[in-house]
Amino acid sequence: MIDLPISIDWTRPKPIRYNEDIPHLDGALAGELRMPRCRTCGSEFWPAGPVCPRDFTADLDWVTDPGTGVVNSWVQIHKPYFAGDEVPYVVIQVQLDTGPRLTTSWTGPQLPRIGEPVEVSFRQIADGIALTEFGPPPPDQS
């Protein structure tokens, strides 16, 4: 188990552990971006589901994604929809280098730019629960 940044004051809704998402959520707790992959066509996909969205086969496994990509789109939320929301906050859609698009939280100090390189990180928000986040790569890697 790796040490993740911890947000002890997390009051926003926590992810629901749907069966299809459990490997992904447990991967975040282990510091890994785990993604479903079709063993027939070899493609990773998101969101997770019982069958591959390309060829509809159920022969799936999970792989650890490098967690790199670019900002495909983003939005800044100004209205607090959920209890505990601290606005404004930014939600981005990441185009992973491996193909899938992932909607996730933004960790950068400034607003994102379309096409900006990003890298995955993880934040523990409660016992046994961690979230996947994305932001600019650390300076020594950029």
Partner 1 sequence: MNTAPNRHDPPGLDVIDAQVHLTLDMDESRLLASMDALGITGTILDEFWVLQDQASALPATPLPGGAFRPLSLYAHGAAIRNPQRFKYIQRVERTDPELAAVIRMLGTAPECAAVRILLLSAAERSGFAEGAYDDILAGAQDQRLPVCVLGPDARTLGAVTDRFPRLDLVLDHCGYGRKTPQWEAVLDAANLPRVYLKWSHASRIFGPREHPDAPMAVTRAEFHRAVKTYGADRMLWTSDITEEESAQSWSQLLSFVRDDCALSDAEKAAILGGTARQVFGWPQTNTSTKKLR
Q: Residues interacting with partner 1, by CB under 8 A?
A: 13, 16, 18, 79, 81-83
3-class SS shares of the chain: helix, strand, coil, % to 5: 10, 40, 50
Cβ proximity to partner 1: between 2 and 83 the closer is: 83
| Shortest spacing between CB 21 and partner 1, in angstroms | 12
Cβ proximity to partner 1: between 8 and 16 the closer is: 16
Helix or strand or coil: residue 68? strand
| Shortest spacing between CB 117 and partner 1, in angstroms | 31
- Read off the tokens for 95: 């185009």
| Shortest spacing between CB 13 and partner 1, in angstroms | 6
From residue 53, alpha-carbon distances to 27, 48, 97 in Å are 22, 9, 18
| Shortest spacing between CB 72 and partner 1, in angstroms | 19
Cβ proximity to partner 1: between 78 and 140 the closer is: 78
- C-alpha span between 139 and 116 (Å, rounded): 14
The amino acid present at 61, given as its one-letter code, is D
**Alpha-carbon torsion angle 74, 68, 53, 14, nearest 10:** -60
Contact status, residue 124 vs residue 138, Cβ threshold 8 Å? no
Cβ proximity to partner 1: between 78 and 142 the closer is: 78
